[in-house]
């Protein structure tokens, strides 16, 4: 393996890993706040992709489409929490898991109903194509994904550390009761955390659109994001990022060395290993159980 | 004992109906009835695992896949008699159940859901990665064969095979629920701590639940191959698993009646919605979501609530 | 003739962070004794029971049950050795009938092969019938037979406690741990239930470790009482001794003694 190829794979792995990290973040944020794992997260990515499609078809420029797509994702997330999730907050775990799956399937089949299984795409948003640096072919789309994800992580870090709403969300993640006593509107925080996670998902959708296209099965990548979240630990935001990047790299390198079958199987083998050996991931912590 | 007499009459009526069905019903409705019976078997199996034992599982369709592919491959490529093919299919599906159930002993909630999701994904990948064996995404056709001298295409015989299989599953499920293992299933769902304190080995019971439910699914898979004549891997994905979950959530979790009602309603529904088949998944998932929110005890729960008088509020657990 | 010690804890301690919920507890319960545990709220009684039954792991010390060290054992293995318990917040199997709850209690003693159960063999049915009769016998003694077929979740709280008791007894344990068996019962219900409990325990030669707040019940039931306060055993004795012990009285007895 030459250095050139190794670097090439590194960029590809980080790029794929960035998407995994992004969607993993979208999974972990509402989980930390509400202890609910949103299995419909993949479909929220799909929503972002199709929103970008529609907006682009309206001849709007990319620098308008991007923020509006994110906004649409945000609103969809608010809606889902308010209209559906809130009603079942206190339900047993089975209900919560299956309900989010059901929501995902509703979204996917609704999209499929209108757009069928046609594969769409939107154009490369960047004005230049691939270029070479020291023999390594760099695809600017991949770099754009890595850049956007990095920006997202920085924004989130700032948000949770300095923004009052972000701090309120951290309080709610630690203890809903304590947060309530401190005057935080827990309901509002939960709703917004779902909105944020949905917005992040939508961002993922529009970032992916020019690379893998737009079709109803885009959300399938949530499975990989789930693996990333398990690796990182469901209660850790930095863990989600690390998990995502790690998974992207593992996938890309194993695909190069061992072929596509290994590449497809490996994430799930890793998932099972973690579930058995270290279910709370590299950075997560076990919840306290009282009898 | 009036209830027992009622049940006996009901069973008798069903037997007679089953007996004359192939002569009375036109081909299409017989086919539909076969599908209903197969779905009943699937629902019964899933109810044992999820409704009674409380284990979240998203890979029920994978166990069905194992049964379907095993039966079809043995049927197409070996000289084994039909019954043996079915038996091996059920056995391999049960092994699948053990493969999931054993590591799942210590998992619950979302972690269990994820483990079953991993199993589902792995089986899907394996189906697609070995198209020479499984036909890949294009699917697999069942070669014609025969049983006891009758061609497997004979719809009367096919119906009786499916009906007997379904009846058998209903019988053993009823036995299970009335005996030690059935009580253990409910115990580990309701209160694992109390169950453990009373000497029930929760991990072992979970494993048994997974294995038995996988066996049911494997049987259903084999029968499905026979009836449909063609296996399409799209039948074995997440949306299929969700469909079976819908059967029991809407029908009623943990009850045989719930399994039957759910299977009947949801096999009949796509037919009632004929012409708008694309709405299938949308309708399923919407009904599932609405049921989870508004009717958590299923249709059976609704019927039971109507039947009994309102009771004084009780303190349960 | 030396009485065999069925349960012994030696310097048992359980630490949650900085708090010692159970602090250096050493008690010896001889076989056949009905041992009471009393103490003010938060004294560590439930935590002690939880440690003994294996529900939580103690941080230091030993527990010896029938000659076996169980401090590191899993709960189902401990119960396999012959220990059973009830729970402070009743954990009844609500979906199942009252009778089924007792039958679940008998789980360990019902040896029927899985295949026999599935196929409904005559052998399986016969064993089930025998079990049903034993269960009904127990239900009758606790005045629950009339409701045998009812779903357990429909029972009022007092009857649920009786069912919990019957279920724990059905396991025919060597040692039975009871956590506030009469809470939520009326005074009359409590005394009746306790009378029944005591007679069954004596018949079967069971050993009992009971937490109770109701001193009248405790006086009737216990042979010997250990008093806990802030995780430590501060005094022990017969019910008469304990109610007159100034250490115990100072700790908390107060109104209870005045009532009894």
Q: Do B316 and C85 touch (CB under 8 A)?
A: no
Q: What gap in Å lies between CA A100 and CA A77, rounded to an integer?
A: 12
Average pLDDT over residues B99-125: 93
With bands split at pLDDT 50, 70 and 90, how would you rate the model's confidence at C20?
Answer: confident
pLDDT in tens, C173-189: 999 999 988 888 888 88
pLDDT in tens, B23-75: 888 888 889 999 999 999 999 999 999 999 999 999 999 999 999 999 999 99
With bands split at pLDDT 50, 70 and 90, how would you rate the model's confidence at C1?
Answer: very low
Q: What gap in Å lies between CA C151 and CA A110, rounded to an integer?
A: 42
Q: Is the pLDDT of residue B11 over 90?
A: no
CB pairs under 8 A between A and C: 3
Q: Is the pLDDT of residue C2 over 70?
A: no
A114 burial class (0-12, 13-18, 19+ CB within 10 angstroms)? exposed
Do the strands C83-85 and C175-179 form a parallel or antiparallel pair, or are they unpaired? parallel
- Kindly list the residues from chain C whose CB atom is less than 8 angstroms away from the CB atom of residue B202: 76
Q: What gap in Å lies between CA B103 and CA B100, rounded to an integer?
A: 6
What is residue A290's predicted lDDT score, i.e. its pLDDT?
42
Average pLDDT over residues A104-108: 95
User: Is B50 in contact with B185 (CB distance < 8 Å)?
Assistant: no
Percent of chain A clearing pLDDT 90 (strictly above):
64
Of residues B168, B205, B250, the one with CA closest to residue B48:
B205
Mean model confidence pLDDT for chain A:
90
Residue that the structure tokens 């109810």 belong to: B47
With bands split at pLDDT 50, 70 and 90, how would you rate the model's confidence at B156?
Answer: confident
Cβ-nearest to B176 among C92, C117, C157 = C117
CB pairs under 8 A between A and B: 98
What is residue A1's predicted lDDT score, i.e. its pLDDT?
65
Cβ-nearest to B181 among C76, C90, C114 = C114
Q: Which residues pair with C65 in a beta bridge?
A: C7, C68
ipTM: 0.91
Cβ-nearest to B292 among A99, A268, A276 = A99
CA distance to A80, A200, A237, per residue, from A206 (Å)? 20, 10, 22
pTM score of the predicted model? 0.90
What is residue B308's predicted lDDT score, i.e. its pLDDT?
64
Asked whether the CA dihedral C38, C39, C41, C47 is positive or negative, the reply is negative
Rounded to the nearest 5°, which phi and psi values hold at C25?
Answer: -90, 120
Identify the DSSP state of A123: -
In chain A, the residue whose alpha carbon lies closest to the alpha carbon of C51 is A291
Of residues C86, C174, C108, the one with CA closest to residue B199:
C108
- Does any CB of chain C come closer than 8 Å to the CB of residue A288? no
Identify the DSSP state of A88: G
Average pLDDT over residues B70-82: 91
Mean model confidence pLDDT for chain C:
88
A116 burial class (0-12, 13-18, 19+ CB within 10 angstroms)? exposed
Q: Is the pLDDT of residue A141 over 90?
A: no
Q: Is the pLDDT of residue A265 over 70?
A: yes
pLDDT in tens, A46-78: 999 999 999 999 989 989 999 999 999 999 999
User: Is A171 in contact with A51 (CB distance < 8 Å)?
Assistant: no
Of residues B173, B179, B168, the one with CA closest to residue B49:
B173
Provide the chain B residues 123-162 that lie in CB contact (below 8 A) with chain C. Answer: none
Cβ-nearest to A105 among B109, B193, B281 = B281
- Does any CB of chain C come closer than 8 Å to the CB of residue B204? no
pLDDT in tens, A225-250: 999 999 999 989 999 999 999 999 99
Q: Which residues contact B164 (CB under 8 A, 6 or more apart)?
A: none
User: Is A22 in contact with A43 (CB distance < 8 Å)?
Assistant: no
pLDDT in tens, B262-293: 999 988 877 766 656 667 788 889 999 999 99
Q: What gap in Å lies between CA C84 and CA B198, rounded to an integer?
A: 6
Q: What gap in Å lies between CA A189 and CA B194, rounded to an integer?
A: 37
With bands split at pLDDT 50, 70 and 90, how would you rate the model's confidence at B314?
Answer: very low
Count of beta carbons in the 10 Å neighbourhood of residue B169: 23
Q: Is the pLDDT of residue A96 over 50?
A: yes
CA distance to A30, A81, A173, A237, C130, per residue, from A160 (Å)? 13, 21, 11, 10, 64
Count of beta carbons in the 10 Å neighbourhood of residue B158: 21
């Amino acid at each position: 393996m030459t250095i050139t190829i190794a670097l090439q794979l590194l960029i590809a792995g980080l790029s794929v890993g960035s998407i995994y990290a992004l969607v993993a973040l979208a999974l972990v944020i509402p989980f930390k706040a509400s202890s609910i794992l949103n299995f419909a997260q993949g479909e929220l990515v799909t929503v972002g992709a199709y929103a970008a499609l529609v907006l682009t078809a309206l001849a709007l420029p990319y620098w308008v489409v991007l923020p509006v797509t994110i906004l649409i994702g945000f609103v969809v997330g608010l809606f889902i929490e308010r209209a559906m999730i809130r009603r079942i907050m206190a339900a047993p775990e089975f209900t919560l898991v299956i309900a989010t799956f059901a929501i995902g399937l509703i979204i996917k089949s609704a999209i499929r109903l209108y757009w069928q299984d046609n594969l769409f795409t939107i154009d490369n948003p960047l004005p230049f194509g691939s270029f070479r640096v020291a023999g390594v072919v760099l695809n600017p789309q991949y770099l754009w994904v890595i850049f956007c994800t990095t920006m997202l992580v920085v924004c989130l870090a700032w948000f949770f550390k300095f923004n009052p709403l972000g701090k309120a969300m951290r309080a709610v993640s630690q203890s809903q009761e304590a947060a309530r006593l401190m005057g935080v509107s827990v309901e509002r925080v939960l709703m917004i955390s779902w909105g944020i996670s949905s917005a992040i998902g939508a961002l993922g959708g529009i970032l992916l659109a020019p690379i893998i296209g737009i079709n109803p099965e885009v959300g399938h990548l949530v499975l990989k994001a789930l693996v990333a979240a398990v690796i990182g630990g469901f209660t850790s935001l930095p863990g989600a990022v690390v998990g995502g990047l790690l998974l992207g790299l593992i996938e890309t390198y194993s695909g190069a060395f061992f072929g596509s079958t290994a590449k497809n199987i490996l994430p799930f083998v890793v998932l099972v290993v973690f579930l058995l050996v270290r279910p709370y991931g590299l950075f997560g912590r076990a919840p306290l159980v009282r009898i | 004992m009036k209830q027992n007499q009622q049940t006996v009459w009901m069973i008798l009526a069903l037997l007679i109906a089953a007996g004359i069905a192939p002569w009375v019903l036109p081909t299409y409705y017989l086919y539909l009835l076969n599908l209903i019976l197969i779905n009943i078997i699937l629902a019964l199996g899933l109810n044992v695992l999820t409704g009674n034992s409380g284990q979240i599982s998203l890979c029920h369709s994978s166990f069905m896949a194992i049964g379907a592919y095993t039966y079809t491959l043995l049927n197409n490529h070996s000289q084994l008699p039909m019954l043996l093919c079915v038996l091996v299919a059920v056995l391999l599906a049960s092994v699948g159940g053990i493969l999931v159930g054993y590591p799942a002993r210590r998992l619950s909630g979302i972690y269990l859901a994820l483990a079953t999701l991993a199993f589902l994904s792995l089986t899907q990948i394996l189906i697609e990665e070995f198209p020479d064996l499984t036909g890949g995404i294009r699917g697999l056709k069942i070669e014609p064969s025969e049983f006891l001298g009758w061609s497997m295409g004979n719809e009367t015989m096919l119906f009786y095979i499916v009906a007997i299989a379904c009846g058998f599953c209903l019988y053993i499920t009823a036995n299970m629920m009335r005996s030690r293992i059935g009580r253990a299933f409910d115990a580990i769902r309701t209160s694992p701590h109390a169950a453990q304190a009373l000497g029930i080995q929760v991990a072992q019971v979970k494993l048994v639940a997974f294995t038995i439910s996988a066996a049911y699914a494997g049987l259903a898979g084999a029968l499905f191959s026979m009836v449909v004549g063609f296996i399409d891997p799209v039948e074995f994905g997440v949306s299929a698993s969700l469909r079976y979950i819908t059967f029991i959530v809407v029908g009623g979790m943990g009850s045989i009646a719930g399994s039957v009602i759910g299977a009947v309603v949801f096999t009949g529904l796509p037919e009632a919605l004929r012409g708008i088949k694309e709405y299938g998944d949308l309708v399923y998932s919407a009904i599932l979501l609405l049921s989870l929110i508004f009717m958590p005890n299923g249709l059976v729960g609704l019927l039971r609530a109507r039947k009994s008088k309102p009771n004084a509020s009780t303190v349960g657990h | 003739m030396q009485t065999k010690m069925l349960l012994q804890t030696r310097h048992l301690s359980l630490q949650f962070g900085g708090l010692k919920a159970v602090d250096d507890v050493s008690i010896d319960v001889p076989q056949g004794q009905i041992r009471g545990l009393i103490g003010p709220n938060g004294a560590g009684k439930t935590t002690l029971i939880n440690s003994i039954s294996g529900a939580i792991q103690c941080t230091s010390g030993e527990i010896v049950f029938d000659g076996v060290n169980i401090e590191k054992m899993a709960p189902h293995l401990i119960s396999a050795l012959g220990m059973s318990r009830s729970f402070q917040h009743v954990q009844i199997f609500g979906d199942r009938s009252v009778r089924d709850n007792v039958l679940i209690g008998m789980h360990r003693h019902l040896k029927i092969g899985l295949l026999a159960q599935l196929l409904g063999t005559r052998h399986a049915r016969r064993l089930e019938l025998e079990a049903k009769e034993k269960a009904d016998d127990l239900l009758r003694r606790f005045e629950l037979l009339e409701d045998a077929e009812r779903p357990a979740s429909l029972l009022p709280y007092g009857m649920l406690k009786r069912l919990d008791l019957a279920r724990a007894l059905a396991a025919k344990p060597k040692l039975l741990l009871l956590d506030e068996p009469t809470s939520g019962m009326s005074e009359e219900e409590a005394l009746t239930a306790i009378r029944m409990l005591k007679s069954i325990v004596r018949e079967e030669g069971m050993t009992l470790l009971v937490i109770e707040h109701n001193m009248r019940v405790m006086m009737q039931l216990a042979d010997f009482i250990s008093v806990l306060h802030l995780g430590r055993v501060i005094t022990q004795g017969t019910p008469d001794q304990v109610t007159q012990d100034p250490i115990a009285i100072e700790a908390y007895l107060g109104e209870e003694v005045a009532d009894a």
